[in-house]
Amino acid sequence: MADVSMPLLVTGSIGIDTVKTPHGASERCLGGSSVYFTMGASFFSPVRFVGVVGDDCPFDLAEVFKGRDVDLRGLEIRRGSKTLVWHGTYHENMNDRTTDLIELNVVQEAPPKVPEVFRDSKFVFLANTAPSLQIELLEQVAKPVFVAADTMNLYINGYLDDLRKLLGRIDCLILNDEEARLLAGHSNLIKDAEVILAMGPRIVIIKKGESGSLMCSADGHKFILPAYPATEVRDPTGAGDSFAGGFMGYLAHIGRTDFAALKTAVAYGTVVASFTIADFSLAGLTAIARKDIDKRLQMLREFTCF
């Protein structure tokens, strides 16, 4: 397949995480939605990174993404500000987690600017942040061809008007089953997807954790895929963001968004997430190459073919 690799831009958080699970702990490790997304997407296409940290950030992102086609000209190191901090504990089933501490810090301030050289990006992912900020960042991109966004309970409950405005301006919303039920008001995920599609996007992807994902389109297409049957689950942090990275990275790589392409993209996102959960922070992704992803994708095809 020819590599057309249309420009892919991501905006989102960069964080200092402390994670505890039944399988261990990782203190002050690199996290954040844009970081996991970028690592996942970089297996498929070049990534234009937009984010902000405080001058206390202990991580060198140029070193983190060394050897990958990641353009960091949209990274702002803001003097006098502090980086996002998140502490979380996962419970025995690895689906439920408790946020022990969150310090939004620089995330509560003005968002970073999209560099002029990034404004021709054709594929855009607006990672989880306030919908008004997602709109503000999107308005800085000239003519995107496919925009996907993430959201969470906080914004569904407290910023619904802004979220509805955002949904009228994007192509795809990616959220989990709990968030879909909260936003749409049904216990049936198919009905939830239909309600959300009526709010504006043409594609809705509902993630169901270890039960896989559901994708529905405004023209009636549906696709259900189980999760990859992983035996190694040490840290689920970043799984959803790396799913989005694999999904959007593949689409930008092939330059198409028809439903057949979207189905393959969901499968790639599923496989990328299966590597993320195998270790803490980015270790599960930095330990692999694209050939490992392709091999696992082929296995997933065989598992789901009948």
Q: With 60 as the cut, is the pLDDT of residue 105 above it?
A: yes
SS3 category, 105:
helix
Give per-residue pLDDT as tens, 29-69: 999 999 999 999 999 999 999 999 999 999 999 999 999 99
Tens-place pLDDT, residues 194-210: 999 999 999 999 999 88
Sign of CA dihedral 295, 299, 305, 306: positive
- Mean pLDDT to the nearest integer, 153-168: 95
Residue 39 in domain: yes
Q: What is the pLDDT of residues 209-221, one digit of tens each?
A: 889 999 999 999 9
Percentage above 90 pLDDT, the chain: 92
Tally of domains within the chain:
1
Q: Note whether residue 2 is domain-resident.
A: no
Q: What value does the mean pLDDT take over residues 183-194?
A: 96
Q: 35 lies in a domain?
A: yes
Residue 178, in any domain of the structure: yes
Pairing type for strands 123-126 and 47-54 reads unpaired
Contact at 8 Å (CB) between 300 and 264?
A: no
In a domain, 176, yes or no: yes
CATH of the domain at 157: 3.40.1190.20
Q: Are 277 and 233 in contact (CB under 8 A)?
A: yes
Residue 1 inside a domain? The answer is no
149 belongs to a structural domain: yes
3 domain-assigned:
no
Mean pLDDT of 138-160: 95
| Domain housing 28 | 8-303
